[in-house]
Amino acid sequence: LKYLQEIENREKLHPIYTDKPYQSINHTILSTSTVASKHIAAGGFGPVVNDGYGIAYLIDDDQCGLLVTSYLEKELPNFMQ
């Protein structure tokens, strides 16, 4: 809906789209997905925001795999225990 409003009326965006809670809830830092198919050995995807992470994982009968992607090199102290 935001995209449609932007292309129809570029000068005045509805206030909900500039509202802090709306912006916060639509800023997904951690995006995960499983690669669930016996025909796929590996795969991945990028993060959905510039400062986020994309995590693809595969769990099979005899193996499991994980791929973490980001746009920038980062230290990860908040994710380590």
Domain contains 80:
no
Domain contains 14:
yes
Instruction: Evaluate whether 45 touches 54 at the Cβ level (below 8 Å).
Output: yes
Mean of pLDDT values over 7-24: 81
Q: How many structural domains comprise the chain?
A: 1
Contacts of 6 (CB under 8 A, 6+ apart): 13
pLDDT in tens, 41-62: 677 888 988 889 999 988 888 8
pLDDT of residue 20: 92
pLDDT above 60 for 33:
yes
pLDDT above 60 for 81:
no
Domain contains 78:
no
Residue 39 belongs to domain spanning: 2-73
pLDDT of residue 21: 92
Domain contains 30:
yes
Domain contains 79:
no
Neighbour-count burial for 35-54, b at 16+ CB within 10 Å, e otherwise: beeeeeeeebeebeeeebbb
Instruction: Tell me the C-alpha distance between 43 and 29, whole Å.
Output: 20
